[in-house]
Structure 1
Amino acid sequence: MKRTAILTTGILGLAMCASVSGEQANLPSHTIYHGGNIITMEGDSAEYAEAVVEKAGRIVYVGEKAGALAKFDGEAKAVDLEGKTLMPGFIEPHLHPSIAAVMLPNDTIAPHDWNKPDGIARAAKDPEAFKTRLKASIDERARAGEMHFVWGYHPLWHGPLGREMLNQLAPDKPVGVIHRSFHEIYLNDAAIDLFKLDQADYADNPQVDWERGHFFEGGWLALVPKIGPFLLNPETYKQGLSMMTRLMLRNGITTICEPGFPSADFAMEYGLLKTEMDKNPPYDTYLIPNGTQLYGMSGNSNEKAEQMMRELPQKYDTQNIFFLPGQVKLFADGAIYSLAMEMKASYTSDEFAGEWMTPLDLLQQQQSFYWDRGYKIHVHANGDKGIQQVIDFNREDQKRNPRDDHRFTLHHMGYFDDAIAQQASDLGIEASVNPYYLWALADKYAAVGLGRERAENLVPIKALTSRGVPVSFHSDFAMAPAEPLTLAWTAVNRVTSEGSRFSQDQRLDVFSAMQGITINAARTLNQEREIGSIKAGKVANFTILEHDPFKVEPMTIKDIPVYGVVHRGEMAVNQKQLLGGDRDAHGCIASAGYLWCAKTNKCERPWELAKKEQFENTIEAFDKFCGN
């Protein structure tokens, strides 16, 4: 990623670089940003400043432009924002580079469109379209003796899947179809043979269906270490991390955190992540140790796992990778995308059932263990029963061993009610939620799985904020796109992928939503003294937007273009896309009128194909004919 230092008075001007050491010594030591909407995200409402001054990657002044010029005249270069909006750098407090590295370079066949760095992976909305796309993916990219992964499958859109179907589509090519939740996988015979899996090793695992080649929740966790060398293929993994870096800049993200490191192989994941971060991309990466994974790696010992955690910062911290000391990630119930979250009331179909990712006796043991050692505990919990169980365990710990400012944090929180929100408030529990669940799942889950009342009230954020619970937003990439403005937009509007407007009483105001991707996201990581708002003394991380989210129609917030970022005082700008450069994931050039057609297995101009095949010249008819 090329870093661009702007040394002119105009933000769109060409960068000018001194060529000799003497000139470098005479360069101004400060940078003044002015001429736009500068939103500090300090206080309880949108506050604006006329100017911000940065020196050596730190903010040294926030206030009036005249004061900045008077104080730093002769010491600063000026950056004119030319009407753009400068905000604190967006923060992703729960994002998985390991998932990005697997998902981005491989084929995506999901229920909704996905914006990838190289184009759009179009949605497959029914079983026929999914099977057609999956066959095309296997025919085009799968190879004998090499693992081929496809991500995005969901049975409610794509119908049943299993080993038998995959064997028919790929009798000799190893194929693994990863569920939309990334908590499940389906393997064909060739993949099972390639991995050298033995049925006897999974005979006692209730979360493995060997006949269907289906490994889910605990079965998936048991499988991942065995398939790590294939899942974490260094060549494609590096490519995926590089693609992730492009997404971070595109969406204005200057800080990411992976809660739950590692997912499978510590040395390999860290080494590959460090290779990407050594390129000095315009963001920092924080890591929270995976208490459950390190427990297994340490011979099922919490004591040994915790000893390893204490040593991680000194051993592995770099200039832009930081293990967060005194923090740990644990796991309660299953994935909302799998309808495996633990629910108090039963699902509307016997097809779905709650699953515990961690046996409850071990979860309680781990919560108490880290609580007593003063850790900030992050727990993955999705369903109201799962969340309630985590809260009940913590309530017992608080009675036994009271702690102030513990910042125990629940992550995801797919479904809960006012009673749970009140308990969280009473116990000082905080939240990092994924608003995107409502957009992606509410319509489908209203019809299947949850029923209308629960589905239309997924992630009721205002139940938390109205009770004073600090709330941040995250994508849990790739459970949602790594697009902070999209997360804020969903929380503000509560509109679904089908255009439904559900639980409008839970809509947030724009300021509260923007807190969720700035200052509150920093708080989730215990980093609010360093990042998350524009204040003297903090790190000079900024996101530059083309428009002010407080001055546009709320329904357009997600569409605000990100001009670029300033990361630790250095600017990186999104390059404008050139005509003809808008290829989608199949290489089709939209600006030239081409769209992918799964049936013909090539890029087509819809009007030309409609004439040739004699169907109506509409995009709906095109998609139906092509099975897209």
Structure 2
Amino acid sequence: MSCRIFSARRVMTMNPSQPEATHVAVREGRILGVGTLDSLATLGEYELDERFADHVLMPGFVEGHSHALEGVMWNYCYTGYFERLDPEGQSWPGLKSIAAVIERLQHWQRDLDSQAPLIAWGFDPIYFDGERLDRHDLDAVAAERPVVVLHANLHMMTVNSAMLRLSGLDRHAGIDGVLQDDAGQPTGELLEMAAMHAVFDTFNEDLFEKANDPETLRRYARVARRTGVTTLTDLHNPMSDEGIATMTTVTAEPSLPIRLVPALRALTHVPMEGVERVMAAREHNHDKLHFGLVKLMTDGSIQGHTARLKWPGYHDGAPNGMWNATPEALTDMVHQYHQAGLQLHIHTNGDEAVELMLDAIESAQALWPRPDHRHTLQHCQIIDHAQLRRAARLGVCLNMFANHLYYWGDIHYERTLGHERCQRLEPLASADRLGIPIAAHCDAPVTPLAPLFTAWCAIARRTANGRVLGKQEAITVERALRMITLDAAWTLRLDHCVGSLEIGKFADMAVLAEDPREVEIDALPKLRVVATVLGGEVFANE
């Protein structure tokens, strides 16, 4: 049987035994060999594919923390502070004032059915110098139509009076997550999962479940292909029976250019039921679909003041954040999923949340020792050095939100964290020095899916205003590229089949116009992705 040999100006393999090559041989969707054309000629008959002869090949990027919501949200009105590209490549300008947000909402609703709710996303009040969007602002947009504005961090929303009435939250001011004004009335701001799900339940609609719609998954894959991603997570999936069936069917489509790795949304299941659901879902695994992960949500977001911080708390004196379940319940979940042999990916934004989860993992390991568990703390933005050493001892992986440096670094420096903690914001170099398995991610749709931009954030550590935070925590280009390929694959337990270009692995590649190690560092985020290759099949970018 003949094979196809791809020719390139350079092949970056992420294989330490053979870091570079010029050709990659592919048969039956897997890599048959990597090297020079002469070294591969002994493989027998081949077809030489020279379409990428002037380009650089490297392993397809692995996005270890993102959400299929990236494919859902563009059904709704974007109200973010920064410019964004939608899946079709249309640019949406960022909105720099509350007035601009209201204007876009008013414009958007003109095309809505009179009975439909107005849903928007991406809003981030932290940029507006203390000015808040409240129910009165949204009442001016629509008095009778329910209006829901999801914040960029996905841990908060603002709704209008009609939505408060419809959900019954106007009668329950004072419960966790429903903010009140001085008169004891709801302001319209809702914090964290319990309050937010009251809104979703009113519509009998779960945005995370909508992420399992076939066209949503295809749209999500289109975004991934454009940015060089070939392995993509959905790290908070309800995993309903219908959702599992849809993911199984859609990922089997030859035209879908990604491998998908969903993680069960643990907080909506009793642990034993969750264990059974993940175990059953594994029966549906195939080359392009990999069930087996569990996502646990502990605290909220730092910029939303809902993350849990150790003493002395928030730099600006704001009250400490919220737990999404009691610490005892969260610890019990860690124990039960660990005992069942499943891998946990745990949202821990604040250092108090990190401490709780390290405690939970340590006690779980003492009770049920498991080598190579690969439990991964996600975000862990200000994990301190004692916690890093403890994570190394416990065999914990870290997947850090490097994009946070750019998008919220200035806010953290000036308001939420202050100077010293910002020097260890996303402490990638320190984690690397301790030998901790590390990856970096974008958390799309919180920030755009763009692995080369994520790599740049980890290298340059520059905020949107140009401030460098924690230059001692900067990493090299080579190290950053490994974090978005082989090391991200390690955190997903997929490093045996993706993340590097070596014999036997899936023939998944990103085709780049230039070598990312040779361009000016500020050109890295704009480096053109010519195409992706999944299982030897080429998916060109328009």
Q: Same-fold call, TM > 0.5? A: yes
Partner SS, residue 530 of structure 2: strand
Please state if 1:322 is matched with 2:294. Answer: no
What residue in structure 1 maps to residue 232 of structure 2?
A: 256
- Cα distance in 1 for partners of 2:493, 2:203 equals 34
Residue 281 of structure 2: which of 307, 312, 315 is its match? 312
Paired letter, 1:220: M
**Native 8 Å contact 2:167 2:199 kept in 1:** no
Partner SS, residue 406 of structure 2: helix
Partner SS, residue 502 of structure 1: coil
Where structure 2 has 5 or more consecutive residues not aligned to the other structure, the ranges are: 180-184
CA distance change for structure 1 residues 161 and 403 in 2, over 3 Å: closer, same or farther? Answer: same
**Native 8 Å contact 1:456 1:502 kept in 2:** yes
- Cα distance in 1 for partners of 2:153, 2:178 equals 16
Please state if 1:34 is matched with 2:41. Answer: no
Paired letter, 2:108: S
What residue in structure 2 maps to residue 95 of structure 1?
A: 66
Partner SS, residue 308 of structure 1: helix
What residue in structure 2 maps to residue 69 of structure 1?
A: 41
Please state if 1:114 is matched with 2:84. Answer: yes
1:57-84 per-position Cα deviation (integer Å, ceiling 9, x unaligned):
0101112211212433x33343342220
The alpha carbon displacement at 1:479 in A equals 1.8
The alpha carbon displacement at 1:394 in A equals 1.7
Alignment coverage as a number of residue pairs: 531
**Native 8 Å contact 2:382 2:427 kept in 1:** yes
- Cα distance in 2 for partners of 1:65, 1:475 equals 37
- Cα distance in 2 for partners of 1:391, 1:233 equals 30
Q: CA RMSD in A?
A: 2.5
**Native 8 Å contact 2:209 2:237 kept in 1:** no
Partner SS, residue 321 of structure 1: coil
What residue in structure 2 maps to residue 163 of structure 1?
A: 135
Paired letter, 1:440: Y
Please state if 1:509 is matched with 2:476. Answer: yes
CA distance change for structure 1 residues 69 and 190 in 2, over 3 Å: closer, same or farther? Answer: same
What residue in structure 2 maps to residue 558 of structure 1?
A: 525
Residue 371 of structure 1: which of 330, 338, 359 is its match? 338
- Cα distance in 1 for partners of 2:29, 2:7 equals 17
Aligned pairs for 1:325-336 within 5 A = 327-336=293-302
**Native 8 Å contact 2:71 2:211 kept in 1:** no
Judge which range, 339-348 or 514-523, deviates more.
339-348
Residue 146 of structure 1: which of 103, 116, 131 is its match? 116
**Native 8 Å contact 2:244 2:281 kept in 1:** no
Where structure 1 has 5 or more consecutive residues not aligned to the other structure, the ranges are: 1-27, 296-301, 576-628
Partner SS, residue 167 of structure 2: coil
**Native 8 Å contact 1:434 1:474 kept in 2:** yes
Partner SS, residue 26 of structure 2: strand
**Native 8 Å contact 1:105 1:240 kept in 2:** no
Residue 436 of structure 2: which of 469, 475, 483 is its match? 469
Residue 304 of structure 2: which of 321, 338, 349 is its match? 338
Judge which range, 198-207 or 536-545, deviates more.
198-207
The alpha carbon displacement at 1:319 in A equals 5.7
- Cα distance in 1 for partners of 2:508, 2:79 equals 35
1:232-291 per-position Cα deviation (integer Å, ceiling 9, x unaligned):
7979966544432221111011111122321xx724544665565454311111112222
Aligned pairs for 1:49-448 within 5 A = 49-72=21-44, 74-97=45-68, 99-117=69-87, 118-138=89-109, 140-158=110-128, 159-192=131-164, 196-199=166-169, 202=172, 205-209=175-179, 211-217=186-192, 218-229=194-205, 231=207, 240-262=216-238, 266-267=240-241, 269-270=243-244, 273=247, 276-277=250-251, 279=253, 280-295=255-270, 302-314=271-283, 316-317=284-285, 320-324=288-292, 327-344=293-310, 345-448=312-415
Partner SS, residue 374 of structure 2: coil
Please state if 1:484 is matched with 2:458. Answer: no
What residue in structure 2 maps to residue 527 of structure 1?
A: 494
**Native 8 Å contact 2:425 2:469 kept in 1:** no
What residue in structure 2 maps to residue 595 of structure 1?
A: none
The alpha carbon displacement at 1:31 in A equals 0.7
Aligned pairs for 1:535-550 within 5 A = 535-550=502-517
Partner SS, residue 416 of structure 2: coil
Judge which range, 124-133 or 443-452, deviates more.
124-133
Larger Rg: 1
CA distance change for structure 1 residues 171 and 313 in 2, over 3 Å: closer, same or farther? Answer: same
What residue in structure 2 maps to residue 617 of structure 1?
A: none
- Cα distance in 2 for partners of 1:472, 1:155 equals 29
What residue in structure 1 maps to residue 427 of structure 2?
A: 460
Judge which range, 128-137 or 371-380, deviates more.
128-137
- Cα distance in 2 for partners of 1:54, 1:421 equals 40
Calculate the TM-score normalised by the size of structure 2.
Answer: 0.91
**Native 8 Å contact 1:101 1:240 kept in 2:** yes
What residue in structure 2 maps to residue 572 of structure 1?
A: 539
CA distance change for structure 1 residues 171 and 143 in 2, over 3 Å: closer, same or farther? Answer: farther
- Cα distance in 1 for partners of 2:78, 2:423 equals 27
The alpha carbon displacement at 1:206 in A equals 1.1
**Native 8 Å contact 1:285 1:321 kept in 2:** yes
Paired letter, 1:361: E
Partner SS, residue 229 of structure 1: coil
**Native 8 Å contact 2:382 2:421 kept in 1:** yes
The alpha carbon displacement at 1:520 in A equals 0.6
